[in-house]
Structure 1
């Protein structure tokens, strides 16, 4: 038995009463997939963020073992204050190979990061700062890395 009452629909097009509302958090309820990060545009526009600098860092040899190219840019988490979900700016990066990055410094955690580098004879904050100042000049960045790794000893 049909009534002449107007039918009410959910946003997803299902008729009210025939189908339950979509589950909490479903894409139907949200209107489609969300962007990767809420603040991704704001994050990219912060001073000190430079995809070009990261490309140069990835072309340098690993500052720990010398593997060339290192291939990964490690962001020094202790270099500056950061908020929840916010990474350190790109100016505080050093070149590392995959093994030293994932199985080395990332395992010790951000609180022990500087001491991990110091035990290996690397003043990571000085190195990142010097590489940032020379960004754009790959030859100069290689010289800085070579000089730092060979002249610096373990910091006591």
Structure 2
């Protein structure tokens, strides 16, 4: 009796690769306003939950993700993000964090030192779309 060979190959759904780290990119993130509140004085908050359609496969226990998946969050929002289900945190805010992270990283990759103003405008537009853009009086 001959062995049956499967007629398809299932790719590994979670490719493994050492995360890319960039001190310059994280310094850039620290110059931006919080992508949830618009406040300055942010921390680099790395996204942990997976979104394969965006090329983010999550992280295992004790492992890190690439800095590409860092977003600027004010300290209070960063604590809140880690204090609850992360996916629910972003869903409640109404922001697609993976798309925003990719856009901000792309702007930085293309524009370097000139990227802060463009990334800030993207964050402000994202806040406006989510109904969370603060007025100048609140800033």
SS in 1 for 2:71: strand
Distance 2:81 2:128 in 1: 20
Distance 1:84 1:114 in 2: 17
Could you tell me which runs of 5 or more consecutive residues in structure 1 were left unpaired when the two chains were aligned. Answer: 1-45
Distance 2:23 2:66 in 1: 11
1:118, CA displacement in angstroms?
Answer: 1.6
Matched, 1:130 2:98: no
Distance 1:48 1:140 in 2: 23
TM-score (norm 2): 0.67
1:153, CA displacement in angstroms?
Answer: 5.8
Per the alignment, residue 94 of structure 1 pairs with 71
TM-score (norm 1): 0.60
4+ long deviations beyond 3 Å: none
Task: Tell me which of the two structures has the higher relative contact order, counting C-alpha pairs closer than 8 angstroms and 6 or more residues apart.
Answer: 2
The structure with more radius of gyration:
1
1:141, CA displacement in angstroms?
Answer: 0.9
Structure 1 residues 1-156: aligned runs within 5 Å = 46=18, 48-69=20-41, 71-79=42-50, 80-102=57-79, 104-108=80-84, 112-135=85-108, 136=112, 137-152=115-130
Could you tell me which runs of 5 or more consecutive residues in structure 2 were left unpaired when the two chains were aligned. Answer: 1-17, 51-56, 133-139
